[in-house]
Structures are given as structure tokens and as C-alpha cells.
Chains A and B, each alone.
Chain A
Amino acid sequence: MPDVRLVNVTKRFGKIVAVNNVSLHVYDKEYFSLLGPSGCGKTTLLRLIAGLIQPDEGEIYIGDRLVNDVPPEDRDIGFVFQTFALFPHMNSWDNVIYGPRVKGFDMEKASTIGHEVLEMVRLHERLDAFPNELSGGMMQRIAVARALAAGAKLLLLDEPLGQLDAKVRNELRYEIRRMAKDLELTAIHVTHDQAEAMAISDRIAVMKKGKILQVGTPRELYMKPKNIFVAHFIGESNFLEGYVSKVTSKGTVIELRGGVKVQTTNKDMKIGERIVLAVRPETFILEKDIAKKGENAISGVIERVTFEGTNIRYEVRLENQDLIVVVKPSLTEEWFNTGEKVIVKFPPEKAHLFTYPERGLREEIASE
């Protein structure tokens, strides 16, 4: 059964290192996502696994087989392209049974498989339509059906939902996952949309500039980001800059800009180290009673209020002039108004502490 292993894989295009010494293990029957901003090398990595391009260094295994020199048609994969790449000169049905046919199945068997996969994507109408006569959603289903019909146990999806409307996209993403799980496939899904990756993946690899920064379940990535980029890219984070002023048995005391002191539970920092504190917008607590200070309480003024439906988003100017974003559920919490003075708090254990990046914070969270 196909697990996929990459060992120290590097791929260069001229001087650009698209994939830089990447090692990765995708387990059998796992729904795995490669997530990152455009140009991070995620599509290149997928194409390396598919055999559409060859690595300059490193080894790629599908199952127990080293596939570096195996052409794509012999890797037993299904590949769904971002543009779908439905053959424009064949109708939907011929597209779907292309795989079984080129693999030499007889017509009867090919059409049995064809009907099975079309049943699965729930698209049995319009089989004689040519790709340019189909809607985006239908093309996507046909593209998935075509990839499945080839009988592969490894499904590779390159931004399969990228070209669809938001509504259709949200519908189809669960459907693809359901099919992969029903058929017990290993799926590797490339996307730049973190919400999509979080929603459907068993595990996610976050990539930037050809490297994998962190691999983990959606929950791990959100709750325990290993670096600033992941904290920024997965969900949303407020970054506050400061220095470690004290290390105690309880954790670390941080002095933020403007002399504001806060407490975290992190323990592996040295005194005097320059750090970045990351706090999720929903972690902050807002209080109207400005007299009632306490642990990790910073005073500030509401600068802007945006109603987003489910949530309300506040931009708060802290007393040290840092600007932070606080998100609160719109139904359950009390509301604040622009110009209102507030106290902002956060629990020490919910803040993440990172060493200040050498190239600067802005550069570190930049996508490219």
C-alpha cells in the first residue's frame, strides 16, 4: 500500500532552488496537504512525486519502490491538475475511461470502471459533453473521476479547487476527502489556502522557499506553531516585539516595547534575548473596567471595529503604541466602540515565544 517517502530531495531550475533538501513521510491512506504561499515549491514537490519532473538530488519512494527513474505512467498515480487538463478533443466519457484504455483494459472492463467512478463523483449526466461545455464544478468532478478511474492508490491533487467559486469550492473539498477515505487512498493535496488545508487534512506540511517548516495535524500547527511563519500563515497572529527580562520557575517575563511587562510559561529563553511574542486574536480578553489591572493586562484604546458576521474584529492601540487585532464572537460577548478605553489580557500559557528572526520580523513572515 502506498506511503510516500522523500529523502533529502532537491530540485533546481537554473539558479532557483525550488525544493531544498526536503525529507517527508506521507503515511498510507493519509489525507496529506502541502501548504504554502505561491512559489514555495509545493507544486514542484508534487510534480516530483508524480514523476513529471526529476529530482536533482535525493530519493523518492512510493511504497517500497524507489521511483526516481520510473516514468509517470508507471508510478500508478492519479493526478488532478489545477487547470483540470481535460482533453479538449474528447468528451467527458472518453476522458474518464482514458486511463483504463491506455492501460490496455478491454472496453467492457473500462466502461464498468467508468460507470463506477462517475457514480462516485455523482455525475452521470452530460457524458457526451466536451470539456468546454461543462461548468467549473463539473470539469473538476470529471478530472477527479478520470484520475480515480486509472485505479491508482495514490491521488495527487494540485490546487484542485483553485479555479472554482467559493461556494462550490467549499462543497467539493469535503467530497474529495470523502472519496479518498472511502477508497482508502493516500492523497497529497497542494493548496495555498490554509482554511482548505485545515478543513480536510489529516496532516499538513507548511512550506516556504523550498523548505518544509513544520509537519503536523491542523491542531498541532495551530496550537503549537514551531516558528513565526507558521504562526502567521496558519490562522492569524499578533506579533509583539520585546526582550526577556527575567526567567523564573514559572516561566519567562518579557519586557515589550514601552516597558510593558508580560508573563509567559515558556522556559527556554535566555535573559536579554530579543524575542517575538505571538498571540492569537481570539486569545485576548477585552475588559471594560480599566481600573481592574492584573497579570498580563495592558491598557489600550479601540481604534476600529469591524463586524464580520460570526465575529467582531477590534483593532486596539496598546499603551506602548503596538497595534493588535482582537476577535470576539459577535453573539456572546459584549461589544466595544471605537475610541473606548479597554484592558487587554491574555493567559500566559497561550502565548508563543520565538527568538527574534535574524532578517527581521517583516521578512520572516513575508510569503516570498
Chain B
Amino acid sequence: MPQSRITEALDKLSSKKAVKYSVYLTAVVVFFALIFLPPLLGIIIKWGAIQEVLNQQDIMERALNAIKNSFLIALFVAAVDVVAGIPMAWLITRGKSKWLSVLDTLSDIPFIVPTAALGYSLLLFWSEPGGISELFGGSLVSPGWVLVVLLHFTFSYPVVVRVVVGALLDYKMEYEQASRTLGAPPLMAARTVTLSIIKPSLIAAFILAFARSISETGATMMVAGLAFENGPVFIHNMKTEYLETSPAIYEGSTAFASFILIAISCLIFGIIRGFGPRLKMPIRRVWPSFERKLSYSKASFTRNSVTLLIFFAIVLIPSLFVALPALQAVFTETLPNALSGSGIWGEYWQSLMLSYFLGALVTILNVIIGLPMAIIIARRKFGALPSAVLDLLVNIPLIVPSIALGVSLRFFWKETLVFVPELLLLVFAHLAITYPYLVRAMSAAVERISLDLEEASRTLGAKPLGVFRTIIFPLTKYSLFSGAIMVFTRSVSETGATLAVTTLKTAPVVLVDWVKQKMQGVPLELDIGLGCGFLLLFSFIILLALRLIVKGEGRY
């Protein structure tokens, strides 16, 4: 077979040190050139512009206030999410009912709903007439910071639950059983043993929830109302207010806000990474009779009920509430309008195509440039320290607000390549934002494979590429797929960076526009509902298809 001759030739090539290392080196260079350095340099290029707005007191005040809001909300939401997510994960992994697998699947739903659709859904549920507000007469939660907090809680919740469920499934039950046989009631065993042992996962869950909250732009803009600003909303407002009238203020204020957002995010990430492991759970103190009371049936029934109530009332139903107008729209003329692409719908379909095209392209590119990086990190190809440093750097796009990343990316590429096509900018931005997802998923998967297997394969005569083809890839393909799915979903959901780098409109951007324009009468509620519905439906179909292809243990 000619194909096998090609792989044979490639295999042989891969055993040459020079070839092997140039592949790795290219991956590192691409990482720095496309992902890591541009945002950093973008801000440095605009350093002058920042200094010009420093004395604009009103704008500075607004900026700092918005940034403060961002971090307060992110820290608060991440903490609450972890506290609320643990009992849910516990119920899913430890409960005995057969309905729990349904609950497990349900808990993923807000994760699948693109955040723009989620934002509108929450807006409808909490504050528009027709939602829960109707029961209370008027708007229960009007747009503003409370709604932002609710929104961020909702979309971070499934991430936290997923991480904690994973940790609990991997956890060796014997530790907890040992604790029980030594006399600890269930709650005490969980507190002193289980939660302490899965602490790294709890920290990871906190960081992920924090990062999601700090980054989210589109949905936040929908529910923020007129008065409330956090970092991303502020940056976007600066763009709409000053881009035309006073470019200097626009550049200075957005560069300033981006810089502060990036710097503080990195700082917080560093602090959590550095001090998290040293953080001791309070396991020295025990309260036998009190914890015993809280352990048994009545208390645990109450706990489970509250957990389920929070899940259904605050997470699941609000997330899916948009299905109502979407369904209504199906039976009105909105559907034929939409399908014929008349009026506002022409733009919608274009944006939807762009979204999915972009998602697919970015996923493929990420696999190509991310795979070697994952192996470098997992196998310490350049030594322990460089790998650890790379591991840290790769995470940065994950924790930095995507709109800030987009702002500085645009500055960089616009200054260096004047005629850079908008589409390319968009690809660069999405590439940078989604890069960590694939690399992290893959490096973790490769790390789990015992080095012995690779060595065994080598001693049996496999060349390095052959080892990858025959050992690493088959054993990590689920993780590769799950990484790819995360990249794809993230790209399709992304609003902040898209808004920041280009005027091209992806589907979430169009939806945000629609919600903002709704005050003027067009589009109608049914239009937006159906728009969200389509986005949700297609994303769901694509994910389902991918899942069926992957079919197996892979969870995202």
C-alpha cells in the first residue's frame, strides 16, 4: 500500500533527532508568535495611548469601577459555584437512584447552550414579562449586577460540577471507607478526607469558573442593562462611544482596561496556583455530635433537595427558557421569514455560517499546532523547567478576559501588518483563546500514559512517530476529541474577542446586537428566541454527532 510506504518514510524521518526537534521547536515558535506574544506586545505598542487617558478622570473612574466589578463578581461567583457544585457532584456520583444519570446529562446542558443564547434566556426568565417575573408582577430581577451574577453563576456551574464529578469518580473510595471504619460519620469523612484529597480539583474548578466569569462578554452585555459595567462591557462601550468620535480615548481606555484586566487575572491565577496547594483544609478540628447530626437521612435529604432546587430553579430552567419563544416562533410567520432569510435573517444566517466555519477551522489548526506542544509539556521534551514554564504560559489565554486579549491582538496585528484581513484577525483571536483547551486536555491525557508503554513500543522497534501513531494516539484519542469539542464550543460561543478584533459578525454577536436593538421594536422577541433556538439546535446537533463518532468514555 502506498499509504503505508508514506507512513514508513515519515516514521523513519521521525527517528532523526533534527527532524523530531524541529517539529517541537516549530510548535513552540508558533505558540509564541501567534498566541503568546501578540497580545503582550499589542499593549506595549499602545503604552503611549494609555498614558494619554490616565489624566481623563471620568474615564479612569469608569474603567477602574468596571474592572473592580469584574473581579468581585468573578471571585464571588467562582466561590459560590464551588460551594453549590460540590453537593450536586456528590449526588451524581454517590446517589443510588437510576435517575442520576439523567441528572448527570442535564447538568451539562447549560454548558452546551452558547452563552449568548444563555444570556437571552436568563434575561427572558428573570426580568422580561412572560418569564418568572410574571408571577411576581413586573420584573423580578431587572438587568444589572444581580442578573450578571445570576448569569455567571449559571454558566460556570456545569464546569464546576463536571470537574468535581470527574475528581470524585477518580477518587479511591477506600480512603473514605477507612475514615468511616475509624469512626467518622459521612459528613466528617467527606470533609476531613475526601474533599482534602480532591482539593487540587476544587482549586481547578474555582479557577475555571473564575476564568469563565472574567472572560464572558456577549451574554453579560445582554443582561447588564444601561448602568452596570464590568471590564468587558466597559471595553465594548468605549468602542461604541469613542471609536468614531475620539479614537485616542478609545485606544487609550481599552488598552488601559485590557492591561489591568490581564495583569490582575495573571496575578490572581499566580496566587491561586502558588498558594492553593498550601491552603490547608480545616481538618484538625472535628465536632463529632454536630457533624453526626448533619450526616444522616434528614439532613442529607434537605441538602439534596436544596441542591436540586438550586439546579433546576437557577441553572437548568432559566438556561432553557429561551426554548419557549423559540417554539412559539415556529408556529408563527417568524419561521418562514427566518428560513427565507428575509430582513434581519439574511445577516443571521451569514453569521451562523461564519461561526461554524470559524469553529471548525480553529479546531483543526489547534490540533495541528497544539499536539506537539502537549507532548512537549507532558513528556518534558525540553527538560523539566522549560516544560513547567510552557505549561504555565499555555494557560494564560484561558484566564485572561477574551475581550482584553482581542483588544491587544488587534492593536498588534494592525500595527505590524496594516492590511491584515479581518477574517485572519478573527482566526488569530479565536486560535489564541481556544489554544489552552486542546493543549491541556492532550497533555493531561499523555501524562496519564505510562512511559513504560512508550519504551516498550520503542524496544519492539517502533520509531518515534510510530510510537505516537500506535500507542499515544489510540490511547488519547478520546481526550483529543474532547479537547477538540471544547475548542469548537468555545469558539462558537466567543463574543468578546470577536467584538474586539473585527467588525465581522458571528452568530453570538448578531444576537447581542438584536437584544440591544430590541428596544427599537425590531427584531421581535420571537425573532431573537428563534435565533437563539437555531444556534442552540445546531450546536447541539454538531455536539451530538461528534459524541456519536467518538462514542465511548470521552466526556467532552
Contacts and interface: CB of A to CB of B under 8 A. Distances in A.
Contacts of A85: 172, 174-175, 177-178
A87 B193 contact: yes
Interface string B162-189: 0000000000101101111111111011
A102 B193 CA distance: 11
User: For B180, B184, B196, which residue has the most chain A Cβ atoms within 10 angstroms?
Assistant: B180
Nearest to B185: A73
B197 interface: yes
A102 B179 contact: yes
B289 interface: yes
A180 interface: no
B183 A81 contact: no
B192 interface: yes
A104 B182 CA distance: 12
Most chain B CB neighbours (cut-off 10 Å) among A52, A72, A78, A146: A72
A89 B196 contact: yes
Given A71-B185, A85-B172, A88-B197, A102 B192 contact: yes
A101 interface: yes
Nearest to B197: A89
B470 to A, nearest CB: 32
Given A72-B177, A102-B288, A150 B182 contact: yes
Contacts of B392: none
A87 B288 contact: no
A125 B183 CA distance: 26
Given A71-B185, A87-B175, A87-B197, A52 B180 contact: yes
Given A81-B174, A81-B178, A103 B183 contact: yes
Contacts of A147: 181-182
B114 to A, nearest CB: 39
**Which of B178, B179, B189 is the most central at the interface, judged by chain A CB atoms within 10 Å of its CB?**
B178
B286 interface: yes
B185 A79 contact: no
A325 interface: no
B192 A73 contact: no
Interface in A75-109: 75, 77-79, 81, 83, 85-90, 98-99, 101-104
A102 B292 CA distance: 10
A98 B286 CA distance: 10
Contact of A71 (B172, B178, B180): B180
A73 B174 contact: no
Contact of B183 (A52, A90, A102): A102
A50 B174 contact: no
B300 to A, nearest CB: 12
A73 B291 CA distance: 13
A88 B186 CA distance: 19
Interface in A99-144: 99, 101-104
Nearest to B182: A99
A89 to B, nearest CB: 5
Contact of A146 (B182, B188, B192, B288): B182
Contacts of B186: 71
Interface string A147-158: 100100000100
A52 B181 contact: yes
Contacts of B180: 51-52, 71-73
Contacts of A73: 180-185, 189
Interface string B277-289: 0000001001011
A317 B263 CA distance: 84
Contacts of B197: 87-89
Contacts of A86: 178
B179 A98 contact: yes
B530 to A, nearest CB: 46
A99 B175 contact: no
Contacts of B196: 87, 89
8 contacts: A72-B180, A73-B183, A78-B181, A79-B177, A86-B178, A102-B183, A102-B188, A102-B192
Lowest 7 CB-CB distances: which A-B pairs, in order? A104-B288, A79-B181, A99-B182, A85-B174, A102-B184, A85-B178, A72-B180
Given A72-B180, A83-B172, 15 more contacts: A50-B177, A72-B181, A73-B181, A73-B182, A73-B185, A75-B181, A81-B174, A85-B177, A86-B178, A87-B175, A98-B192, A102-B184, A102-B286, A150-B181, A150-B183
